[in-house]
Amino acid sequence: MTTTGGNPIADNQNSKTSGPRGPLALEDYQLIEKLAHQNRERIPERTVHAKGSGAYGKLTITNDITQYTKAAIFSQVGKETECLLRFSTVAGERGAADAERDVRGWALKFYTEEGNWDMVGNNTPVFFVRDPLKFPDFIHTQKRHPKTNMRSATAMWDFWSLSPESLHQVTILMSDRGLPKSYRHTNGYGSHTYSFINAKNERFWVKFHFKTRQGIETMTNQEGEQVIAKDRESSQKDLFENIEKGNFPQWDFKIQVMTEDQAEACPFNPFDLTKVWPHGDYPLIDVGVLELNRNPENYFQEIEQSAFSPSNIVPGISFSPDKMLQARIFSYADAHRYRLGTWYEALPVNQPKSAVNHYHLDGAMNFLEPKSSDAYYEPNSMGGASDDERFAEPPLKHTGPLDRYDHREGNDDYTQPGNLFRLMNDDQKQQLCDNIAEAMQGVPQEIIERQLVHFDRADAAYGAGVRESLKRLAGDDVNNISVQEEPLPDPATA
């Protein structure tokens, strides 16, 4: 045993004192180092997705999609690429219970030979907001009230009822799938629209889907409560133990593809994060199989310090005009610089397996090996790395003057949530309506009324079902719940 300076330690049981009763000697560096280090054991937790679990695995390509992308990870059938997947809940802090109704984060890092490709998604194909200007406001409604220090159902429903674009994701969150049995029983979605670029430098728009081979399994609120009463780490336990005993979870990796011409003609904005691309119009295309097969050796080093960012793309995979994606390209890397430090990508779990050549210098905790001493600026004639125009992307056409455009104007926020409601069976519809009614307890009537109108607009039966559930929960005290007997007409058909 040694100090962190590498000096041998003779006694790790007794502090150095003046006589057996004390006091302590300031020179007992060994003690001081221990206490000082303990004070620094915690790093800032993630503002969102603080509670997580992760494991390593591989992506195996089973189908040729090289007509769409030149990315090396897809270059041939049978190719395997190592990856790390971190699952999470969104709103709870690091000590939160796993079995809570919440969106599950699905953050993937593929260690490709062309650098890291991070796909930082969720277990839902859409999101609550479509304009990043609303993201911090939305997250504040999911976190603790500044005065009571408690979560606030009023804040959540107030924000959602004033933001109709949230209805699609609210419907998923409140549905059976809003409380997964474990991470293994969830699908993963890239959610945003990304782009593929092929060897001919042609661009395609793409969505990423990971379909669980374990099957979708969910819990009711009551089942979730029973799990939490006994085990706050139920998803961590499930993932860790299944991998430990060799029961490796797998997902089918699929994509949807849209040409640039199709995007121009698409009746909705294909870069809107609150919308899916209907499978009937944009069928799923097989790509490969994702498998998780190795637990991390040290949770803090490999999962807490893992850092995923949509800015990590590789040749053949790129961004889209999706405003939420554009904001995340900045904010994720920025969050890691704050949380982990300037050199967060040099940490072993985040380090690419391919060569890294850039001209950033110095900064706290720079522990990378020194590069060639003379080529420390660019351009140089000292043999340093330089840019390569072969990696340039085809130009992307943008239209329209710079302005703040009303993202709600003319946007249909109701058809897709209605489609989701209509594909649910009776039991799922009942669960959805009951979960919503339960989540609305204690919320002012005015806010409930405003939200009911959104359900009505998605599907009259949706609004009626939530009213029924609210009435049932209110018991005899039906006067507490105003019941709008005539749903408002659908704006699309009115």
Residue nearest to ligand NDP (CB): 420
Q: Could you say which of 122, 295, 350, 435 is catalytic?
A: 122
Q: Would you give the binding string for ligand NDP spanning residues 193-212, x where CB under 6 A is met?
A: ------------------x-
353 touching ligand NDP, by CB under 6 A: no
Helices (H), 383-459: 415-423, 426-439, 445-458
State which residue, 126 or 452, has the beta carbon closest to ligand NDP. 126
179 touching ligand NDP, by CB under 6 A: no
Q: Is 256 in contact with 301 (CB distance < 8 Å)? A: no
Amino acid letter, 251 = W
Pairing of strands 52-61, 80-89: antiparallel
Q: Which residues contact 391 (CB under 8 A, 6 or more apart)?
A: 315
Least Cα distance to 235 among 221, 218, 212 occurs for 218
State which residue, 28 or 412, has the beta carbon closest to ligand NDP. 412
Query: Which helix (DSSP H) or strand (DSSP E) does residue 289 occupy?
Result: strand 285-294
State which residue, 131 or 176, has the beta carbon closest to ligand NDP. 176
Q: Which stretch binds ligand NDP (CB under 6 A): 110-118, 155-163, 169-177, 354-362?
A: 169-177
Q: Is 191 in contact with 127 (CB distance < 8 Å)? A: yes
Q: Which stretch binds ligand NDP (CB under 6 A): 13-21, 47-55, 139-147, 173-181?
A: 173-181
Touching ligand NDP, residues 401-460 (CB under 6 A): 416, 419-420, 423
Smallest gap from residue 281 Cβ to ligand NDP (A): 8
Smallest gap from residue 175 Cβ to ligand NDP (A): 4
Least Cα distance to 164 among 481, 406, 437, 327 occurs for 406
Least Cα distance to 419 among 216, 131, 167, 121 occurs for 167
Smallest gap from residue 485 Cβ to ligand NDP (A): 27
State which residue, 284 or 356, has the beta carbon closest to ligand NDP. 284
- Distance between CA 181 and CA 291 in Å, rounded? 19
**What is the SS3 assignment for 421?**
helix
Q: Which stretch binds ligand NDP (CB under 6 A): 154-162, 258-266, 276-284, 358-366?
A: 276-284
Smallest gap from residue 423 Cβ to ligand NDP (A): 5
**Cα dist from 86 to 104, 106, 208, 282, 373, whole Å:** 10, 6, 17, 28, 37
State which residue, 241 or 281, has the beta carbon closest to ligand NDP. 281
User: Could you report how far apart the first and last alpha carbons of the chain are, in Å?
Assistant: 77
User: How many residues form the binding site for ligand NDP (CB under 6 A)?
Assistant: 17
Q: Is 271 in contact with 322 (CB distance < 8 Å)? A: yes
Helices (H), 114-207: 135-142, 153-161, 167-174
The question of whether 122 is a catalytic residue gets the answer yes
Touching ligand NDP, residues 212-241 (CB under 6 A): 216
State which residue, 203 or 275, has the beta carbon closest to ligand NDP. 275
Amino acid letter, 204 = F
**Cα dist from 306 to 50, 182, 290, 310, whole Å:** 12, 21, 19, 14
Q: Which stretch binds ligand NDP (CB under 6 A): 91-99, 227-235, 277-285, 367-375?
A: 277-285
Smallest gap from residue 425 Cβ to ligand NDP (A): 9
Report the residue from 89, 112, 169, 187 that binds ligand NDP according to the rule CB under 6 A. 187
**Cα dist from 289 to 131, 212, 213, 333, 486, whole Å:** 33, 10, 10, 28, 49
**What's the CA angle centered on 126, arms 123 and 130, to 5 degrees?**
140
Beta bridge partners of 196: 204, 317
Q: Would you give the binding string for ligand NDP spanning residues 118-147, x where CB under 6 A is met?
A: -------x----------------------
190 touching ligand NDP, by CB under 6 A: no
Q: Would you give the binding string for ligand NDP spanning residues 22-61, x where CB under 6 A is met?
A: ----------------------------------------
- Distance between CA 72 and CA 79 in Å, rounded? 9
Pairing of strands 250-259, 115-122: unpaired
Which 8-state DSSP code applies to residue 302? I
283 touching ligand NDP, by CB under 6 A: no
State which residue, 57 or 125, has the beta carbon closest to ligand NDP. 125
Smallest gap from residue 279 Cβ to ligand NDP (A): 3
Amino acid letter, 52 = G
Q: Could you say which of 14, 39, 49, 140 is catalytic?
A: 49
Report the residue from 44, 278, 363, 491 that binds ligand NDP according to the rule CB under 6 A. 278
272 touching ligand NDP, by CB under 6 A: no
State which residue, 56 or 414, has the beta carbon closest to ligand NDP. 414
276 touching ligand NDP, by CB under 6 A: yes
Least Cα distance to 72 among 313, 234, 305 occurs for 313
Catalytic residue positions, numbered: 49, 122
Q: Which residues bind ligand NDP (CB under 6 A)?
A: 125, 172, 175-177, 187, 211, 216, 276-280, 416, 419-420, 423
